[in-house]
Amino acid sequence: MATYGRFPVKLERGQGVWVHDSEGRRYLDCVAGIATCTLGHSDRALRRALTQQLRKLQHVSNLYAIGEQEQLASWIADNSCCDQVFFCNSGAEANEAAIKLARKYGHSRRGINQPLILTARSSFHGRTLAAVTATGQPKYHRGFEPLPEGFAYFDYNDIPSLEAALQQHSDRAVAVLLEPLQGEGGILPGDRAFFSRLRQLCDERQLLLISDEVQVGMGRSGTLWGYQQLGIEPDAFTTAKGLGGGFPIGALAVKNYAAVFEPGDHASTFGGNPLACRAALTVARELQQRRLLENVQQRGEQLQQGLQQRVQQWPQLLAGERGWGLIRGLLLRDDSISAIDLVKAAMAEGLLLVPAGSQVVRFVPPLVINRRQINQALQRLDQALSKLAA
Ligand code: PLP
């Protein structure tokens, strides 16, 4: 179905940060399947691990113990603030699980019959009915009403707005679900003072603080999880996208005290199958062995400086730059060009970029990108900007 406005380009193969289309053109991929191909394309370690796993066992059922799933859950628990993990296949599903968990927590731990979850305006949490309702952007709601009940919104990074929403819904609020950096909403990093106050309010009111790490998690911010940039620990977090490096897998991780699911409460046929977990275990191992967090920090700084130079060089087109690590947004001047104009111009120069809203262009390359490739991306960006300026 025509659910996407697609570019007239068919991508057929890739290697590292490069992809090739059916006409033989080569592109430097700063989209990475929208912040998903952590190790780039056709990574040797991932290829080898998945081939081996296919020879051994692909899919069984969560009716049985799955060794790869246990290993992956242990890795997440050992490398985050959470203790237990539920596996699914996508970001929306992970958030759906988080929403159900928060509601059950409200019912069983707080005796609240009509639990309500607070989320931020300009957020994005996915397209299933509950996740899209959690998404604080009316444009994603239109045409899909009636939406599920039990959500209310506050302004991101705005303490008075959060306090007012909590006050208004004090008898029903059970959780706050939000991104540490708003991705689709325009690459807007969370504010430390805001998150610190949020943590305090959640503690005082026994609310679950749930971090949506679907886009920034798995190292993209320069720390393994986005919440680590903000100096707080959530009670639960969701992850997907980069977790499997291009293989579909999602997860909800929770601290022990919030792990209210019991057998029968929630399930997934595919969630956490041996093949998906092998993919994520391989991404996790490669992140550590190849010291990719350091690479994200260094290449992120290089990209940030490069983008800042372009903002100075093209003030008539560009308004600023923001982000963390290898998730960065270039802000366009309102009255000059739109994000899609720049994305198209960059594509013509062999550089893949993706909009984040109408006035921000997003750079989310594979975390393996090197110094030379960042320079190549910036050169191609220059060519695109010169053509647009002309
Ligand atoms: N949450 C965030 C922060 C996202 O950026 C996205 C996707 O862009 C989602 C959830 C939904 O993930 P998926 O498309 O895997 O359902």
Residue nearest to ligand 1 atom 1, measured at CA: 125
Q: Is the dihedral of CA 100, 104, 110, 112 positive or negative?
A: positive
Among 289, 306, 325, which residue terminates a domain? 289
Range of the domain at 58: 46-289
pLDDT band at 58 (very low <50, low <70, confident <90, very high): very high
- The amino acid at 248: P
Pocket test for ligand 1, best of 3, 37, 123, 125 (most atoms within 8 A of CB): 125
Residue 126 alpha carbon to ligand 1 centre in Å: 5
Structure tokens at 14: 């890739």
Whether the pTM exceeds 0.85: the reply is: yes
Question: Do 279 and 295 fall within a single domain?
Answer: no
Question: Do 227 and 275 fall within a single domain?
Answer: yes
Residue 336: per-residue pLDDT: 82
- CATH of residue 319's domain is 3.90.1150.10
Could you read off the pLDDT of 183-223 as tens digits, one per residue?
Answer: 999 999 999 999 999 999 999 999 999 999 999 999 999 99
Ligand 1 pocket, residues with Cβ under 6 angstroms: 90-92, 95, 124-126, 179, 183-184, 212, 214-215, 240
Residue nearest to ligand 1 atom 5, measured at CA: 215
Selection from 343, 352, 102 nearest residue 202 by Cα? 102
Could you read off the pLDDT of 357-385 as tens digits, one per residue?
Answer: 999 999 999 999 999 999 999 999 999 99
Output the average pLDDT for the chain.
98
Question: Do 300 and 278 fall within a single domain?
Answer: no
Could you read off the pLDDT of 147-161 as tens digits, one per residue?
Answer: 999 999 999 999 999
Residue 24 alpha carbon to ligand 1 centre in Å: 31
Could you read off the pLDDT of 253-302 as tens digits, one per residue?
Answer: 999 999 999 999 999 999 999 999 999 999 999 999 999 999 999 999 99
Structure tokens at 28: 């430097």
Question: Do 57 and 181 fall within a single domain?
Answer: yes
Could you list the beta-strand ranges (E) of the chain.
11-15, 18-21, 26-29, 84-88, 116-120, 151-154, 173-178, 181-182, 188-189, 208-212, 236-239, 250-254, 318-324, 327-332, 351-352, 354-355, 360-363
Question: Do 231 and 259 fall within a single domain?
Answer: yes
Ligand 1 atom closest to Cα of residue 213? 3
Residue 3 lies in a domain: no
Residue 335: per-residue pLDDT: 76
Residue 5 lies in a domain: no
Q: What whole-number distance in Å separates Cα of residue 324 and Cα of residue 304?
A: 9
Ligand 1 atom closest to Cα of residue 90? 15
Question: Do 165 and 56 fall within a single domain?
Answer: yes
Question: Do 148 and 75 fall within a single domain?
Answer: yes
Question: Do 117 and 131 fall within a single domain?
Answer: yes
Residue 4 lies in a domain: no
Number of other residues whose CB lies within 10 A of the CB of residue 349: 18
Number of other residues whose CB lies within 10 A of the CB of residue 326: 30
Ligand 1 atom closest to Cα of residue 95? 10
- The amino acid at 187: I
Could you read off the pLDDT of 74-118 as tens digits, one per residue?
Answer: 999 999 999 999 999 999 999 999 999 999 999 999 999 999 999
DSSP state of 229: G
Selection from 132, 91, 60, 30 nearest residue 366 by Cα? 30
Structure tokens at 233: 């620990």
Could you read off the pLDDT of 8-34 as tens digits, one per residue?
Answer: 999 999 999 999 999 999 999 999 999
Q: What whole-number distance in Å separates Cα of residue 273 and Cα of residue 89?
A: 10
Question: Do 281 and 306 fall within a single domain?
Answer: no
Residue 334: per-residue pLDDT: 82
Question: Do 75 and 149 fall within a single domain?
Answer: yes
Is the confidence at residue 3, as pLDDT, over 90?
yes
Pocket test for ligand 1, best of 87, 210, 215, 360 (most atoms within 8 A of CB): 215
